[in-house]
Amino acid sequence: MSTIAPYRKLPLLAAVLVLAACGPKDASGPADDTMPSTDAPDLVALLAADSRPEADRARDAGRRPADVTEFLGIEPGMQVIDVIAAGGWYTEVLSIAVGTEGSVASHNPPFVLEMRDGANEKALSDRLAGNRLPNVSRLNKDVAELSPEDGPFDAAITAMNLHDIYNRNGEEAAVGAMRNIYSILKPGGVFGVIDHEGNEGQDNVAVHRMLKADAIRVAEAAGFVVEGDSGILHVHSDDRTQHVFAEGVRGKTHRFLLKLRKPE
């Protein structure tokens, strides 16, 4: 859809798409959070294995990948897509979660692979070198070009990307992006959205954040139903007023996690 084309070349987006993980487990989230159980020892053990890069494992305390994938209902045998994957941290998590009977598409717009002298292209190529993750394929195209022929997928995930589309290009662009992702999911498919949460009334564009309510509104406008809203990535030590790259905040931002469902 042409409504989201302008965001493709924004240099500001490039910096944010490589953001590292954020904060620690918070057990004091809202009362209506759907908190995953921790009874997934197989996945936890696989994610902790030495075969996974040490730098990736170092981020797990903040990103809580086993809990996130469990909350989203991602299971062995599924076909999933990591939307705007950058260097592929979540691509590898998903590869492990879906197992040998599942598959993962690691999606990136071309400019994401070209930015910073091709840093994301190199990182993702190194990650996949030697058929290291044999259930992963690459899908390089702009979000505006995603279409049903690229799927269908059981599930999709995007981490710390929606705020840029929304903040830099507006609600119509964000709805357009959501509709494209909606189109590649199977009926009943799930879309997990993780992003830096801001505060009502502040300049969230300046601090690279967004309101959860805005994310929900654009998701529903695109046809999704909000099935879950988890506090597992909340970090209350972050008051949500500072830039996500600020000293002491980077990697420790307060994030929302939404489980969106494409109706059957």
The 10s digit of each residue's pLDDT in 9-65 is 344 343 434 333 333 333 333 333 433 444 444 899 999 999 999 999 999 999 999
**To which H or E segment does residue 139 belong?**
strand 136-140
Question: In CATH terms, is domain 2-261 a member of 3.30.1060.10?
Answer: no
Question: Could you tell me which residue, 39 or 261, shows the higher pLDDT?
Answer: 261
Rg (the chain; Cα; Å): 17
Distance CA 72, CA 68 (A): 6
Q: pTM for this structure?
A: 0.83
